[in-house]
Amino acid sequence: MFSRQDGDPSRRVEITPELTLPKLLLETARYYGDRKIAMREKEFGVWRPITWRRYLTEVRLLALGFRALGLRSGDKVALIGHNRPEGLWAEMATLAIGGIVVWLYQDALIDEVQYVLDHSDARFLVGEGQQEVDKGLAVTPRCPKLERIIWDDPKGMRGYDDPSLMSLADVRRLGEELDAKDPEAFERMVAQGRCDDVALLFYTSGTTAQPKGALLSHRNMLKMGQNMLAVDPCGESDDFVSFLPFSWIGEQMMSISCGLMAGFTINFPEDPETVQRDIREIAPQVMFSPPRIYEQMVRTVQVKVLDSPGVKRNAYRWALGVGGRVVDLKFAKQPIPGFLWLKYKLANLLVLRKLRDHLGLARVRHAYTGGAALGPDHLRFFHSIGVNLKQIYGQTEIAGISVVHRDGDVRYDTVGTPIPETEVGIAPDGEILSRSPCVFTGYYKNPEATGETLRNGWLHSGDIGFLDDQGHLVVFDRRKDVMTLADGSRFSPQYLETRLKFSPYIKDAWILGDKRQAVTAVICIDAGVVGKWAEDHHIPYTSYPELSHKPEVQALVRDAVLHVNKALPPAARIQRFLNLHKEFDADDEELTRTRKLRRTFLEERYQDIVEGLYSAAREIHLETTVTYEDERTSRSKHTLRVVETA
């Protein structure tokens, strides 16, 4: 089942019908023991190492503690909190018992927590601290199967006396007692697991309706890690920084599937605000993030360049221009002239190497982006500075990835080719289909949705795309989101939104134009970047709404829109836009927790804006209701100015 020989790490594990994630952890930890660091956590500015032996010990004691509390095979355990070793230990402990793990987003609102806990039939909720405990206690009356709430961080917990509460330390002590009485209990529990047992119950983002719970088996996750590493091998000397929610399948794929297969070190930042600094300290060889993280990196660089002296600004533009010309030739698989190559070497020495180091990407060998489309401008930027960033395509229902770019075969308009053991097809209506050992077993309590998604052995993605003549997959957009423009052509709003977000001044964009006479846009400015720009230009403001509607700011955004329009066919060009009085917010249900636009909800909520953009109105008077967590409401009124681009 498991061996450590020279060669590709992904080929050292044989996935048998008996293999599970806890069994792989057991073998990996026994092999490395205290000789190698499994994970690090930064506390009070210091990176604290945790060996593989310690990793296994913590999982062992928590699993035995859960068993002492009555948890059994098939039971659901929900987890919520920031990325930290204790969260990973609790997950693996649940799997060791034969339980099923349900992760929630740390910033989920009470109604979201209640829906997932109730729908999943979770018996235990393991939270990080007081905030998560409060959410659990608030929904307990509406979640009859929830028996126990377990917390890790004692800060603020002194006055709590609810009988359902227990600390993770107390669970660990129960495990120690059971381990002393029956030293073989943990190994017996782990041995009972099978590869096709359900491991994870993952709730999709729910852009149009309530999220669905996708059931993923140990085989799904193990095969994903094996096939991913077959494309891009990683090893025990590599570092990975875990900072994205464990409730996102991409993070599970890297930290669990690939982490156990390759044996690389997982690093947990001190807190969300220090992620960029902590990434720079670790300088990982492997990185996987959704587009918003890379977009923020680009925005950070752009802002720093705008604030730099003229000499540095010109040096950056020259170096990026040289890098861009080299990358364009590489992508086109054309030779690079010797003089241009020498200029690139100089640009790398003077500018690009320092820029990669500033972003924490000095040592990165494999960088991936997935979960949504990354704009071609962003992809070109990273390759121009020497970062091997690759697009991936997949979904929760296929355990993360089905398609990825290969080294030396990256293209702006595609997401690459299928990974091993994965077949991709295109339905007659253009829908992307796939099948592989990683395809999920179905949706929990939803046979109708399962039947619609799994048909004749194929996973139906709901995305529209095609395979080009080189076997690369081109993803157009979600089928329900593809627009029909005024000239009858089909167009992806997501493509246009990603192009707009390359501007440092634009944080989000919502494109309209399906079956309408023109394309229009709703823009959310980046308050930090635009605010700094306004201060530099001595433009006073007191709030986000006031800043977004300053004539100078509208002109700034208009320039960005016009720049994007230049590369578009006439029917796809933005004719009118407005700056929204606020940023899109997941708490307002405008975005999913993975920051995807909930387009149907936006059209309903901002119906007055949509009608105003398609009228002759110069101003739109908007009145909205704000609902707080305690169910109080308030009304706000705003006057939004429409900007013409013609």
Q: How many domains is the chain built from? A: 2
Q: Residue 601 domain-assigned? A: yes
Can you give the CATH number for the domain in which 569 is found?
A: 3.30.300.30
Which of 204, 231, 258 finishes a domain? 231
The single residue listed with the structure tokens 């004719």 is: 575
SS3 395: coil
3-state SS, residue 613: helix
Residue 408 φ then ψ, to 5° = 80, 0
Residues of the chain with pLDDT under 50: 4-11
Residue 307: the pLDDT is 86
Q: How far apart are CA 463 and CA 397, in angstroms?
A: 13
Helix (H, G, I), strand (E, B) or coil at 553: helix
Amino acid letter, residue 72: R
Among residues 231, 258, 278, the one where a domain terminates is 231
**18 in a structural domain:** yes
DSSP-derived 3-state class of residue 404: strand
Helices and strands (DSSP H and E) totals, the chain: 23, 29
Sign of the four-CA dihedral 498, 503, 504, 505? negative
Structural domain containing residue 13: 9-231
Half-sphere exposure of 161 (CA within 13 A, CB side): 1
The string of pLDDT tens digits covering residues 390-443 is: 999 999 999 989 999 999 999 988 999 999 999 999 999 999 999 999 999 999
What is the rounded radius of gyration, in angstroms, for the C-alpha atoms of the chain? 25
CB 150 within 8 A of CB 160: no
Tokens matching residue 350: 């003077």
- The CA distance from 575 to 485, in Å, is 13
**Burial call 316-346: b when 16+ CB within 10 Å, e when fewer:** beebbebbebbbeeebeeeeeeeeeeebbee
Q: Report residue 238: phi and psi, to 5°.
A: -85, 155
Asked whether residue 369 is domain-assigned, the answer is: no
Identity of residue 548: S
φ and ψ at 55, to 5 degrees?
-55, -50
CB 483 within 8 A of CB 491: yes
Q: Give 518: exposed, middle or buried? Use CB within 10 Å, 0-12, 13-18, 19+.
A: middle
The pLDDT score that the predictor gives to residue 147 is 96
Cα–Cα distance, 125 to 149 (Å, whole number): 5
Q: What letters, b where the CB count within 10 A reaches 16 and e where it falls short, cover 428-438? A: eeebbbbbbbb
Q: Where on the phi/psi map is residue 309: left (φ > 0), alpha (ψ -120 to 50), or beta?
A: beta
CA 372 to chain centroid, in Å, comes to 9
Give the bridge partners for 24, in sequence order. none
Domain-embedded: residue 374: no
Measured between alpha carbons, how far is 287 from 345 in angstroms, rounded to an integer? 25
Contact (Cβ atoms closer than 8 angstroms) between residue 437 and residue 476: no
Collapsing DSSP states into helix, strand and coil, what is residue 179?
helix
Task: Find all residues with CB under 8 Å of 64, minimum gap 6, and list them.
Answer: 174, 175, 176, 178, 179, 185, 186
| Tokens found for residue 637 | 């009124």
Q: Does 55 map to a domain?
A: yes
| SS3 readout for 193-233 | CCCCCEEEEEECCCCCCCCCEEEEEHHHHHHHHHHHHHHCC
Residue 432 falls inside a structural domain: no
Phi, psi (degrees; rounded to nearest 5) at 344: -65, -40
DSSP state of 406: B
Tokens for 473, please give them: 């997959």
Pairing of strands 286-289, 100-104: unpaired
CATH number of the domain residue 224 falls in: 3.40.50.12780
The verdict on residue 532 lying in a domain is yes
| CA–CA distance, 207 with 12 (Å, rounded to integer) | 39
Per the CB < 8 A criterion, the answer to whether 55 and 89 are in contact is: yes
Residue 57 counted as domain residue? yes
pLDDT of residue 627: 63
Among the candidates 231, 255, 280, a domain finishes at 231
Tokens standing for residue 69: 């509390």
